[in-house]
Copies of this chain bind each other. A is one copy, B any other.
């Protein structure tokens, strides 16, 4: 065995699963088709002469529900996608041929976790709290995990603890903490590859005005070509104090879609 990667994975690994389980009824944005799973066929519905039986599933969902990645085709500004493509023309026959999720390469690269509440000495950030460039820079420095080009930068707000509570996680009345426009510009200026968070819409949401505008989406997806990963589960990895890791993320290769459910992993040699 001479392959360096295979040698590395043959040793003990610690794998942090950064995705939420897909369950009917989990919190998600009302803008997107609800996740649903059902069994068209259960064991016993149709049994083969030899006693074998197969059960199967049907799922229906938006691609921006559960833990997911936004393709660059997800957001346009003034009718234009990242790189200047016309947002209308980029949709051919009902598929975003340009910048669709099928154009995102699988990610196997350095990831870092910026644990903002830990940096601030808080349990959690309150609804509406904006994570600034100073927060990001100082957290990275304190952790000893500098942001490097092509990294995947995960920003923890602690809001993910509310996922099990449903509506509270959406934060329509309370707002949701997150990176704001300035923070997004700071991240983009480091030429990162992707960034993620433990909230439904990545960026700070102000109380009572969810999704009114999404400036961080504009900065990241349209102006900078940086992918966004949302609704991540960052609690376990934060509790373990792991801030640097190999990030593995493989979107479904859905032709022409604007996003995909994903199950990102953070992996370290144990």
Contacts and interface: CB of A to CB of B under 8 A. Distances in A.
Interface of A: 1, 3-11, 13, 15, 17, 19-25, 30-34, 36-46, 48-64, 73-79, 81, 87-88, 90-96, 102, 105-106, 108-110, 212-215, 217-218, 244-246, 248, 250-259, 261, 263, 265, 267-269
B94 A257 contact: no
B3 A244 contact: yes
Contact of A257 (B1, B59, B268): B59
A76 B214 CA distance: 36
Given A22-B253, A253-B263, 19 more contacts: A5-B269, A9-B109, A17-B106, A33-B58, A34-B34, A36-B58, A38-B38, A38-B58, A43-B87, A44-B87, A45-B93, A46-B93, A48-B213, A52-B218, A53-B76, A57-B257, A59-B60, A108-B265, A250-B263
A258 B57 CA distance: 7
A96 B55 contact: yes
B32 A106 contact: no
A102 B22 CA distance: 9
Most buried by B among A11, A77, A253: A253
Contact of A75 (B52, B74, B108, B213): B52
Contacts of A48: 212-214
Nearest to A90: B43
A258 B56 contact: yes
A8 to B, nearest CB: 4
A204 B12 CA distance: 36
20 contacts: A4-B269, A5-B246, A15-B108, A17-B106, A21-B102, A22-B255, A25-B30, A38-B39, A38-B58, A45-B92, A45-B94, A50-B215, A52-B217, A54-B214, A55-B258, A56-B62, A56-B63, A57-B62, A59-B59, A60-B60
